[in-house]
Chain A
Amino acid sequence: MNLLKITLFTTLLVAISGCATTHDSRILQSGNQVELRSMQTRSFDTEDKNIVVRNVISTLQDLSFVIDKADADLGTVSATKLSGYKIRMTVTVRPQSGESVLVRANAQYNLKPIENPNVYQDFFSVLSKSLFLSANSVE
Chain B
Amino acid sequence: MIKFRYILIAVVLGSSGCATTVPEDAFKLSDTSLQERQVQSRFFETKNEVELLSAGIAVLQDMGYSIDETEKNAGVVTASKTVDATNGGQVAAAVFLALMGGGNVAIDSQQTIEVSFVTLPSKLNRDGYLSRVTFQRVVINTQGMVSRAETLNNEELYSEFFDKLSKSVFLEAQKI
Residues of B within 8 A of A (CB): 2-3, 6-7, 9-10, 13-14, 16-18, 20-23, 26-30, 33, 36-37, 40, 68-69, 71, 73-76, 78, 114-116, 118, 120-121, 132, 134-138, 149-151
Contacts and interface: CB of A to CB of B under 8 A. Distances in A.
Interface string A105-139: 00001111010100110110010000000000000
A26 interface: no
B143 to A, nearest CB: 18
A77 B65 CA distance: 21
Interface stretch (A10-18, A37-45, A96-104): A10-18
Contacts of B120: 54, 57-58
Contact of B6 (A4, A53, A71): A4
A4 B134 CA distance: 53
Nearest to B75: A54
Interface in A30-63: 50, 53-54, 57-58, 61-63
Contacts of B71: 69-72
Interface residues of A, number: 50
A62 B33 contact: yes
Nearest to A111: B20
Contacts of B40: 61
B61 to A, nearest CB: 18
A83 B3 CA distance: 38
B13 A82 contact: no
B137 to A, nearest CB: 8
Contacts of A24: none
A63 B136 contact: no
